[in-house]
Amino acid sequence: MTTDATAAAAPDPLAAFRELLEHTRSLPGSERPVQYTDRLVGPKAAALLRRCAVPHEFDRALLQHLGNLDEAEADARYAEFAELSLMELGETTLAVHERWRTPLWRWWLQEAQRDEFTALSERLVAWFTLPANATGEDPAARRRMFHLIGCRRDEGRQAFEALFRAARHRRRVSECSLLLRLAHEYDPLLAPAERARLDYQEGKLASDLRDWERALPLLQAVAAETAADPRLRAHALVRVGHALRQSGRIDDALALLEGARAQFEADPALAGSVWRLLYELGEAYRDQGRADAASATLGEALASVDENDEEADAAGLLNSLGTAQLKLRETDAAIASFRASLAELERSGDALRSGAVLNNLGLAQLERCDWAAAEASFTASLERKRQAGDLPGQAAAWLSISRVQAAQEALGPALQSAEQAAAAFDALGDGPGRTRARLAVARLLRRNGRCADAAALLQTLLAEATAGGDEGTAAAARAELVLAERRGGLRWWIWLLVVLAVALLALVAVALVVGAER
């Protein structure tokens, strides 16, 4: 037989695969994964293939464990599975492609497979229970959590929340997103109360990312879920207020929080959560410009904190209280609050959050004209925010550093810092922050003698603000433009004094000449 004839006679794997797909599409949905895998590799191997779809990816050792195989059998089966079109190949692992894993996963979650799935999940929990590595981290914690949800739901949820809390604390957004995606795979099994807990975590992450359009409906749904734990609903309601405030709807936030205050204070079950409500309410008063109400409310919140409550955020409360005191020009009290906040963070080992507090401390020291202390605080804030990966915080720190440098007449470094801030805000897509920084850049260009450059930038800012209806920025740009367009950088009254002095000298000279002639 010729080579062409041999090729023509050989089965076409792709054609066979398509035929298999067409056949399984005609089957009832619950039967397709079983029939598909049985026809693909035979019933015995198919049972193992379906088990291998549960842990997302597997290596030879895990395949051997799941199939109770000896090493030779495991090698042969692994090689066979590696040739399948539905497999994704890693360096040392295989994974069922998500297009095929999804129907297999749904099949596993059906009631008919519940006992086998629970037992399989227990085996996987045991497999992924490994000793900590040299750094003390648990390398398999995430995978163990995933399978723990499959066999011991409450323990799995607790493991998920612990991992999620740690990832949020370290600002590991991608890790948080991955944990949520894994937990959501169990959505078909979750009761409304369980789903509310998951949505609450997702709403918190959306708030961290300032994605208020995503955060609000998630948190509002949790607050309205009657099957959810009352404290969870209360916490979600407070976070709804936070999202409203941060998205500029301060009046709506105040209406919600003030309306809920009596309910919180009257319900013994919510006694431990009163500080949360007062904390957010105080910040809403502060943002509305009611600094006296903010200071009083935040003081109440601080007084209501139970020192034994591990979730209580005394450091955050002290920081917010300091910002309200600063607005009231109670500078010494504000500095004391910020330092107490830093002490709380140090006591709890939470160095990453100290960047924002150090920035506020620097602003208070700036009010006292303590330039050296303010610059030290701002510089320390920038370093902490770098360590935390806090890009918005770094942008704000650069702007603060520019301000204190300008106050000390270090105009060149101040301009460079303001330009760093503008570039950072621009990279973040933070329009208001970018505008503030660019106004500072324009002001410093003028003070550095570069009036033409300052005027050009201010004209751009004025045009953008006018087009966007931003009257505050437009007014600030106009005021700066008047100064920048005075050639030579001298104010009008200085020129007037010069002219008067010259005129006076001329009169004196004339008088002297006339006197000499007489």
pLDDT tens digits along 78-101: 999 999 988 999 999 999 999 889
Give pLDDT tens digits for 369-391: 999 999 999 999 999 888 877 88
For the whole model, what pTM was predicted? 0.75
Q: Where are the beta strands (DSSP E) in 166-223?
A: none
Tokens 């030879």 belong to 60
Kindly tell me the sign of the dihedral angle through the C-alpha atoms of 367, 371, 375, 377: negative
Distance CA 63, CA 238 (A): 47
Distances (CA, A) of 25 to 12, 19, 22, 112, 390: 20, 10, 5, 21, 49
**pLDDT value of residue 132:** 62
Give the helix/strand (H/E) hosting 33. helix 32-41
- The one-letter amino acid code at 10 reads A
Please state the domain extents for the chain: 9-108
Give pLDDT tens digits for 15-49: 444 544 454 454 444 566 788 888 888 999 999 99
Tokens 């604390």 belong to 169
CATH fold, domain 9-108, is: Arc Repressor Mutant, subunit A (1.10.10)
Give pLDDT tens digits for 380-434: 999 988 887 788 888 999 999 999 999 889 999 999 999 999 999 999 888 888 9
Please check whether residue 486 is in contact with residue 495, taking contact to mean a CB–CB distance below 8 angstroms: no
Q: What is the mean pLDDT of the chain?
A: 86
**pLDDT value of residue 14:** 44
**pLDDT value of residue 478:** 86
**pLDDT value of residue 306:** 80
Distance CA 281, CA 279 (A): 5
